[in-house]
Amino acid sequence: MRPRRSEAGWVTLIELMVVTAIILIVIYLMYGQGSSRRVAGPAGDDLTNPSGAAQTTPGVALERARGVECQQNLQGLRQEISAYRIDSEQPPASLDELRGAKTCPVSGNPYVYDPATGTVRCTTPGHENF
C-alpha cells in the first residue's frame, strides 16, 4: 500500500490553504482593516488618523496604548524630578539630567519642562491633562 504524501513528509494542498488563510486574516487585522466600525473618542467625536479618515478599532487601541505610554513616561519623569529635588534640594536644570523618556510616543514631540517650577508636560493634543 502506498502512503499519502502528507505521511511521507509533504504538505497537502488543504493544509497549505488553511495556513495561508490564517496568515492573511492576522495581517488583515494587524493593519486595522478588520473592522469598519467607527469608534468615538472621549468627547464623543470620531477619532481620526492623520489622513482624516476614521480609525478602525485596532488603530484606536494602538493610539490609546501610546497615550497610556505617554502618561506613564510623564509620571516617571515627575518621580525622577521629585527624587532629584530631594537629593539636591533644587529641581534639575533640564530633562537631560534625568533618565526617563523625553519625547511623546504619539507625536514624537519633546516634553516641555519648566525648571523654575519643576513641572513637565506633554504638548500633544489630548495629553494636556497627563
- Give the pLDDT band (50/70/90) at residue 127: confident
Output the pTM of the full model. 0.54
Contact 81, 89 (CB under 8 A): no
**pLDDT for res 34:** 45
89 vs 2, residue with greater confidence: 89
Separation between Cα atoms, residue 76 and residue 60, nearest integer Å: 24
The more confidently predicted of residues 112 and 130 is: 112
Domain positions in the chain are: 1-31, 65-130
**Segment 24-57, tens digit of pLDDT:** 998 888 875 544 444 444 444 445 555 555 556 7
How far apart CA 103 and CA 124 sit, in angstroms, is: 10
CB 111 within 8 A of CB 100: no
